[in-house]
Chains A and B, each alone.
Chain A
Amino acid sequence: MVRLFLSGDGPQSRILGAILLLILFCLAFAPFLFPGTRSLETAARICIFIVLVASYDLLLGYAGIVSFAHTMFFGLGAYGVAITTQRMGTSYESLILGTMAGAGIAAVLALVIALFSLRVRAIFFAMITLAVASAVAVLVSQLSAITGGEDGMNIRIPRELTPAFRPFDEPVLGVRFSGRHLNYYLVFFTCLILFLGMLRIVNSPFGRVLQAIRENAFRAEAIGYRVIWYRVTATILSAVVAALAGSVFAVWLRYVGPATTLGVEIMLDILLIVVIGGMGTMYGAVVGTAIFVLAQNYLKDWMGGASDAVGFMPLLPDLLSPDRWLMWLGILFILSVYFFPTGIVGRLRGVT
């Protein structure tokens, strides 16, 4: 049963298995384990970024294609929901329609970019994605009548998914359950299904071909695989999943703006997480995202605490000041790449 869900691709390491189970457990029961708005925000963000990063891993780690447009596809999904609900009014239909529109546009755009550039050389693809992503980011901030420009757009979602909705009169397991929690479970299960779906794809005959192409595209073609079509398909799949993650993110945040979805910073985060977690493993996205998002959200706090605790010593408080958190994140990154060149998952699986 477990084997079926994981598509026969288990963690292959006891420690990794334990870590994954812990993360799954924490995310599945987050509303009860960590009550409080901020921790629920963090948990939802982890769910969504796991899918976003895993869909990037499908492209980079499995197909060996470097793209800088992943946040653009993420944004297409988010804006799809925002624009559709604004035009069509708040309803589940418009959420679904907006999600489908975002995913559809992402698929078409991915097809066009891939066909134009992958025919030439894989590196050309990276440059084209950078250009298109920048163009779309500019477009989104210019077309403020449609997209809300730099301010972004607030999204009105059905009441059942908002904090105002109270499905139960009594607290559940000590938690006053609200529509916000329902919304969280929508995020959680959508992300779980998307992740397991991707795990299935990378372990399919198609996924094996992608790995072969990554290893040696020239030979993959020589044994009879039309490399271009496999790369194009991988690009589309990855874009569609990123867009779906974006739609879920928009519904969760009830807001979309350039900074939350399209920003260069997010693209960098995705790259860092894939590398930290371990490329071409899928599970790297889970472990990497959990560590990264936690660090991003709580490093400042921890540092503030630590800085105060060592306040009597020279220099240390300065180094640990919350303003330095980005430096520490950078150091964390360099150390992890230095000690785990194959990522955390690669390391735990004993691949050197």
Chain B
Amino acid sequence: MPDTIAPSLETHDLTVRFGGHVAVDAVSCTFRPGELTAIVGPNGAGKTTYFNLISGQIPASAGRVMLEGKDITRLSVAARTALGLGRAFQLTNLFPRLSVLENIRLVIQARTRRGFRLWSMAASQHDLLQAADAVLERVRLTHLAHLPITALPHGDQRKVEVAVLIAMEPRVFMFDEPTAGMSIDEAPVILDLIAGIKRDPAVTVLLVEHKMDVIRSLSDRIIVLHNGALVADGPPAEVMASSVVQEAYLGKELIDV
């Protein structure tokens, strides 16, 4: 990646401690538009926690998060979202009793900042419904639009999770194990969607993933976390070839490949 492109997201010595345990340990890293970075590391390495610090669910103990040059370390989750940060969760995290369509419509309503309208009818804001329909079409969930989330099988719930992120139209996308728990024939749909998102040179994608073939086909760069610390950062081939990384830090899956 040419360094001339201004970074979209940076973390500087980002750290969080839970009691005595340092879950994320002074991680400094820069992400640029047009780049998909895979974040790997064994379970408990701190990948999800690193995401939580970036998107604001957990306050940092030390260090800074910068989004497009702006320090967002102290901002609320919602404020970070409004600035263009979008996050999909490792565990499906939707509005369970609301319909698929409403789940997406709410996202677009948030993006267009219409949440504080108290005296108009949500059901008659057709532009939001149409935009939500378009997103559902893109993830091929139109036929399920009116079902509540609870009625969907796990794989489709994961798709809605990705649809939410697409509807947010962020400039920085964060995926936390998007295909976890999906069957082999379902996962490609999600991966195609991520590949589609990546095609836009203006977006930055961070992807936590275990499956090596997925990483190889999608990523431009790999960073490795271990015990909360950043231990490797580079082009996929280089990082995968590094014996130190292979032996000491990566899960079995990586070594097998």
Contacts and interface: CB of A to CB of B under 8 A. Distances in A.
Nearest to B87: A222
A224 interface: yes
A216 B95 contact: yes
Contacts of A209: 106, 109-110, 115
Given A205-B114, A208-B109, A219-B95, A225 B78 contact: yes
A298 interface: no
A221 B80 CA distance: 10
A309 to B, nearest CB: 46
Given A201-B119, A216-B96, A225-B115, 15 more contacts: A7-B121, A204-B119, A204-B121, A205-B109, A205-B120, A205-B122, A207-B118, A215-B97, A219-B95, A222-B55, A222-B87, A223-B81, A224-B78, A224-B111, A226-B79
A222 B89 CA distance: 10
B30 interface: no
A300 interface: no
B22 interface: no
B21 to A, nearest CB: 23
B50 to A, nearest CB: 16
B119 A224 contact: no
A44 interface: no
A215 B98 contact: yes
Contacts of B117: 204-206
Contact of B107 (A207, A215, A223): A223
Interface in A188-241: 200-201, 203-209, 211-212, 215-216, 218-227, 229-230, 233, 237
A223 B96 contact: no
A227 B78 contact: yes
* Best-surrounded residue of A205, A206, A207, A211 (most CB of chain B within 10 A): A205
Interface of B: 55, 57, 76-79, 81-82, 87, 89, 93-98, 102, 105-107, 109-111, 114-125, 164, 168
Contact of B94 (A8, A205, A219): A219
9 closest Cβ pairs, A-B complex = A224-B110, A224-B81, A215-B95, A226-B78, A205-B117, A206-B118, A209-B115, A221-B77, A208-B122
Contacts of B114: 205
Contacts of B77: 221-222
B126 to A, nearest CB: 13
A205 B81 contact: no
A203 B78 contact: no
A218 B93 contact: yes
Nearest to B55: A222
B20 to A, nearest CB: 25
Contacts of B107: 223-224
B106 A212 contact: yes
A203 B115 contact: no
Given A215-B98, A225-B115, A208 B106 contact: yes
Contacts of B95: 211-212, 215-216, 219-220
Given A205-B109, A215-B96, A215-B97, A221 B76 contact: yes
B110 A223 contact: yes
B123 A203 contact: yes
B168 A224 contact: yes
A237 B124 CA distance: 23
A221 B78 contact: yes
B98 A204 contact: no
Contacts of A206: 115-118
Contacts of B106: 208-209, 212, 220, 223
Nearest to B98: A215
Interface in A96-155: none
B168 A207 contact: no
Contacts of B115: 205-206, 209, 225, 230
A226 B77 CA distance: 8
A108 B119 CA distance: 22
A261 to B, nearest CB: 27
Given A215-B98, A216-B94, A204 B81 contact: no
A237 B115 CA distance: 16
Nearest to A213: B95
A7 B122 CA distance: 9
A116 B97 CA distance: 30
A331 to B, nearest CB: 30
Nearest to A219: B93
Nearest to B116: A206
B97 to A, nearest CB: 6
Contacts of A229: 116
Interface string A46-87: 000000000000000000000000000000000000000000
A204 B120 contact: yes
Interface in A256-290: none
A216 B119 contact: no
B81 A222 contact: yes
Given A222-B81, A224-B81, A207 B122 contact: yes
A213 to B, nearest CB: 9
B83 to A, nearest CB: 10
A254 B93 CA distance: 52
A225 B96 contact: no
Contacts of A220: 95, 106
Contacts of A225: 78, 110, 115
